[in-house]
Amino acid sequence: QVQLVESGGGLVQAGGSLRLACASSGSIFSMAFMAWYRQAPGKQREMVSGISSSGRTNYVDSMKGRFTISRDSAKNTVYLQMNSLKPEDTAVYYCYADVSRIVYWGQGPQVTVSS
């Protein structure tokens, strides 16, 4: 049974920073494409950033330069460093893992950015 356990959400003022972490149980991590998605109230879930098993990253344009995704294979953990946060970044952030098209989701910590 694979589990993705996230941490690091919370309340922050605009311009501040947060780091989300997603720890993966099981043996999938080294093979998995990992990503972060987010879903704001009344909006569809959208991808924020992804990182392949080889470390190649991609970002949604609006997050480039503000968000950084990384992975630590020794800890089976993927991170999302979020800087210069804006109120429109307020959302539930979900960790995502894709291993040979088998998809896993984390529980989704809330990130709230106050103006």
| Tens digit of each residue's pLDDT (9 = 90 or more) over 54-81 | 999 999 988 889 999 999 989 999 999 9
- The b-or-e profile of 68-100 (16+ CB within 10 A means b, else e) is bbebeeeebbbbbebeebeeebbbbbbbbbbbe
Q: Is residue 25 very low, low, confident or very high in pLDDT (cuts 50, 70, 90)?
A: confident
